[in-house]
Amino acid sequence: MVTDPRALLRAMFDAAVAAADPLQRVAAFLPPRPPGRVVVVGAGKASARMAQAVEQAWDGPLSGLVVTRYGHAVPCAQVEVVQAAHPVPDAAGEQAARRILELVSGLTADDLVLALISGGGSAVLALPAPGITLADKQATNTALLRCGAPIETMNLVRKHLSAIKGGRLAAAAFPAATVGLLISDVPGDDPAVIASGPTVPEASTPAQALAALANYHVAVPPAVRAHLETSPGCPGPDDSRMGRVRNHVIAAPQQSLEAAAEIARRSGVTPVILGDSLEGESREVGIVLAGIARQVRRHSQPAPAPCVLLSGGETTVTVRGSGCGGRNAELLLALAIALRGQAGTYAIACDTDGVDGAAEVAGALVGPDTLRRAEQLGVPAAGALADNDGHRFFAALGDQIVTGPTLTNVNDFRAVLIA
């Protein structure tokens, strides 16, 4: 019997985050010491924590620079940590990316570049391609965030507008060897998509980026369009400069789901992992998860044994109202409406980096009493969903989950408990 469903859901989320902690993941993937220098660079919400883990495990001198989201820095002794804006890039990210390119340029074949890459790296590693301004990138990025495009599409465009992503970081480091340590926050764990693949050769073309923008009706500045129409593209798989690159995904959503599943088993709850890369509009995925939960409740006789539906991935929100979106809050709001107060059913949805969209909130919890309590407080669920304002809804109920920066990022974590 589950005595405290909300506490159990929170324990599963905490286990999912802990399984992706860089301090637990980095050391096993470090390469042998090279004859020459070791330069550590990195970008993303976990990059500072990853640099800290490298310093703790590495035997020998290091130098370098990593850039992370504001509020996600940790102290390092040998690697400089700077902070920049996410999800819309700023001048600090542009300056950091320029410095990182300078650090890896002019190295020799005896040297090693250790690239620490995690989700959020696309925004904080913001060096526009020649002919494009930071303002151009900011406008394009903002439009992409609001159009409902999946992360693969967003990063396809971003890398073709960059002077450092899409394999260009590794190309600049040649002839030095580059080892990329990657924490995945993308469906399918494709290294080319994680932070727009600064150390990964790119097979797509600028024309495909243009087509993606057109498909989502994204209006872009003239300089962006002109660049995509004339750019030769990113370093491809046949580029000789990519021959000394090795990339390793050191933490991924599936590992975190399995850690949560183990917590469920210890509590006598059967875990069912639905998938680590569920995508789609957040409200639609919430409706689907509610339908599965209703099925379990209705057709398990004489009574359902406790089970939990676990999933990961990155859903999207097409913002049409005045709210700020937040894919986990929107998913939970749609799920609660669809469940209609189903007895014994609870859910959690949180971003493992501690930030749901643009809000400094990881996510929220729902239970059988969510809609009733909201009605008593005069907070209409349907209105909040129509306005893409899930964060305000759950704040009014006191059901938000605020973790602060978790210093990792393996995408969203969702659990629906039928207790």
**The pLDDT of residue 272:** 97
Q: Are residues 284 and 309 in the same domain?
A: yes
Q: Are residues 126 and 30 in the same domain?
A: yes
Q: Are residues 114 and 10 in the same domain?
A: no
**The pLDDT of residue 301:** 65
Q: How many angstroms separate the CA atoms of 204 and 149, rounded? A: 17
Q: What range does the domain containing 278 cover?
A: 5-16+254-418
Domain count, the chain: 2
Looking at 229, 251, 273, which one is the last position of a domain? 251
**The pLDDT of residue 56:** 97
**The pLDDT of residue 151:** 84
Looking at 251, 273, 302, which one is the last position of a domain? 251
Question: 358 — phi, psi (to 5°)?
Answer: -100, 0
Question: What is the per-residue pLDDT across 366-403, written as a single tens digit (0 to 9) for each?
Answer: 999 999 999 999 999 999 999 999 999 999 999 999 99
Looking at 201, 223, 251, which one is the last position of a domain? 251
**The pLDDT of residue 302:** 64
Domain of 233, CATH number, reads 3.40.50.10180
Question: Residues of the chain whose pLDDT is less than 70?
Answer: 1, 301-304
**The pLDDT of residue 169:** 98
What single-letter DSSP state applies at residue 264?
A: H
Q: Are residues 228 and 285 in the same domain?
A: no
**What DSSP string runs through 160-217?**
HTBSSTTTHHHHHHTTSEEEEEEE--SGGG-TTTGGG-TTS-----HHHHHHHHHHTT
**What DSSP string runs through 288-330?**
HHHHHHHHHHHHSSSSPPPEEEEEEE--B----SSS---HHHH
Q: How many angstroms separate the CA atoms of 91 and 123, rounded? A: 11
Domain of 386, CATH number, reads 3.40.1480.10
**The pLDDT of residue 146:** 84
Q: Are residues 391 and 402 in the same domain?
A: yes
Q: Are residues 266 and 233 in the same domain?
A: no
Return the closest-CA partner of residue 189 out of 68, 272, 124, 275: 275
Is the preceding omega at residue 175 within 30 degrees of 0, hence cis?
yes
Q: Are residues 112 and 11 in the same domain?
A: no
- Beta bridge pairs of residue 310: 273, 415
Q: Are residues 216 and 191 in the same domain?
A: yes
Q: How many angstroms separate the CA atoms of 80 and 39, rounded? A: 11
Q: Which amino acid is at 48?
A: A
> Residues 83, 70: contact at Cβ < 8 Å?
yes
Q: Are residues 165 and 233 in the same domain?
A: yes
Return the closest-CA partner of residue 117 out of 109, 125, 129: 125
pTM, entire model: 0.92
Question: What is the per-residue pLDDT across 91-119, written as a single tens digit (0 to 9) for each?
Answer: 999 999 999 999 999 999 999 999 999 99
Q: Are residues 344 and 321 in the same domain?
A: yes
Question: Which residues are CB-contacts of 338 (< 8 A; sequence separation ≥ 6)?
Answer: 286, 287, 290, 291
Task: State the burial class of residue 241 (Cβ atoms within 10 Å of its Cβ: 0-12, 13-18, 19+).
Answer: middle
Q: Are residues 100 and 220 in the same domain?
A: yes
Is the preceding omega at residue 150 within 30 degrees of 0, hence cis?
no
Q: Are residues 83 and 157 in the same domain?
A: yes
Q: How many angstroms separate the CA atoms of 301 and 242, rounded? A: 58
Question: What is the per-residue pLDDT across 26-45, written as a single tens digit (0 to 9) for each?
Answer: 999 999 999 999 999 999 99
Question: What is the per-residue pLDDT across 192-201, written as a single tens digit (0 to 9) for each?
Answer: 999 999 999 9
